Amino acid sequence: LVVVTKKQLDMNAAKGGLVIFTANSNPSSRELGKRIAERLGVELGKVQVYQEANRETRVQIQESVRGKDVFIIQTVSKDVNTTIMELLIMVYACRTSCARNIIGVIPYFPYSKQCKMRKRGSIVSKLLASMMCKADPRLQKCCNCGQVSSIS
């Protein structure tokens, strides 16, 4: 769990060390991001997220995130899998651009209802959390479900 105080956020924002990005899969991500950025007195980060003709997701970070704390706000849309790919690609793009910390703000964790083993099934929420942590090992996780929080 990453705990960030308002004072720390204000200090980072004042130093220019804070960037807030939103993804495109759900308009509420953008709205939530705007409200958070406004409250902190910063502008939303410049990022272009779009789908190619073959439906592959492409992300272009359009400003430097080197040494900065990056918050990626992603709410879930009807197309959960696109939502997940957008988030993973954005995290990876920030990681390879040398962001200091990357914090995913995900109000509703996709596949969270699939957090228990059922009849030879799989714990999909654990798989997703593991994928996110592999995209950036510095990502922290905070889940209510024991099966998910026991990821190594």
Q: Cα-flanking dihedrals φ and ψ of residue 83, to 5°? A: -55, -45
Q: Against a cut of 0.85, is the pTM above it? A: no
User: Which has the closest alpha carbon to 114: 80, 90, 79, 77?
Assistant: 80
Q: What is the dihedral of CA 38, 8, 5, 140, to 10 degrees?
A: 100
Residue 126 neighbours by CB under 8 Å, 6+ apart:
115, 147, 148, 150, 151
Q: Cα-flanking dihedrals φ and ψ of residue 57, to 5°? A: -85, 135
Structural domain boundaries in the chain: 6-111
Q: How far apart are CA 65 and CA 70, in angstroms?
A: 7
- Tens-digit pLDDT profile for residues 121-141: 666 666 666 766 665 555 544
- Tens-digit pLDDT profile for residues 81-131: 788 888 888 988 998 999 988 888 877 666 665 555 667 666 666 666 676
- The arrangement of secondary structure in 6-111, i.e. its CATH architecture, is 3-Layer(aba) Sandwich (3.40)
Classify the phi-psi angles of 120: left when phi > 0, otherwise alpha if psi is within -120 to 50, otherwise beta: left
Q: How far apart are CA 122 and CA 28, in angstroms?
A: 30
Residue 147 has pLDDT above 60, yes or no: no
